[in-house]
Amino acid sequence: MAYVTLRDENAVARIDVATRKVLGKVAVGPGPIQLTVTPDNRFVLVANQGTPERPGTTLSVIDAAKFRVVANITTGAGAHGVTVDPTGRFAYVTNTYANTLSVVDLAARRTVTQIPTGRGPNGVSFSALRPTVTGARNLALGEPAGDDHDSHH
């Protein structure tokens, strides 16, 4: 499946890539611009930017199986870029006209904070930093059984 924002129609199209056919459209907020799919493929998140004169201020949440909007979450003026953390718990939305990044709790379906970004934030990407070990011959993870050197090395 592919999903495409239709900015001039205030909609999202669902396309079957195997048959190359549009399966349907669903109405979202004004000026949908960017979208992403959650890691579990359950939801499509759509940033509704609008225009400078009439900015969109929402993130539309589409149930991918039913292909219908299940929530419109208020973000900030000019919702533009959208990404999801690897756990699928939080979405991050740049707000081009508000100069902020919204952090959205997807389970609660609400914005939990706004982070000032500087002028005209556009795209956003999430990087989950993970601990790495370089140059080690052995690595053991877990809780040491004792406090002596041999219990944890």
Identify whether 71 is part of a domain: yes
- Residues 109 and 133: their CA atoms lie apart, in Å, by 37
Report the mean per-residue pLDDT for the chain. Answer: 87
pLDDT value of residue 153: 39
pLDDT value of residue 15: 96
Identify whether 99 is part of a domain: yes
Q: Which helix (H) or strand (E) holds 109?
A: none
Q: What is 24-88 written as a DSSP string?
A: EEEE-SSSEEEEEE-TTSSEEEEEEEE-SSSEEEEEEEEETTTTEEEEEEE--TTEEEEEE-TTS
Residue 83's pLDDT band, with cuts at 50, 70 and 90, is: very high
Identify whether 100 is part of a domain: yes
> How large is the average pLDDT for residues 35-57?
97
Which CATH number characterizes residue 56's domain? Answer: 2.120.10.30
Residue 50 identity: G
Q: How far apart are the first and last CA of the chain?
A: 49
CA dihedral 134→136→137→141, nearest 10 degrees, is -110
Identify whether 151 is part of a domain: no
- Residues 49 and 35: their CA atoms lie apart, in Å, by 11
Query: Which residues are paired to 115 by β-bridges?
Result: 101
Identify whether 72 is part of a domain: yes
Identify whether 42 is part of a domain: yes
Range of the domain at 46: 29-124
The total of structural domains in the chain comes to 1
Per DSSP, the three-state class of 21 is strand
Residue 21's pLDDT band, with cuts at 50, 70 and 90, is: very high
Identify whether 17 is part of a domain: no
The pTM (predicted TM-score) of the whole model is 0.82
Identify whether 109 is part of a domain: yes
Residue with tokens 């379906």: 109
Q: Tell me the per-residue pLDDT of 106-140, one tens digit each, with 9 for 90 and over.
A: 999 999 999 999 999 999 987 765 544 444 444 44
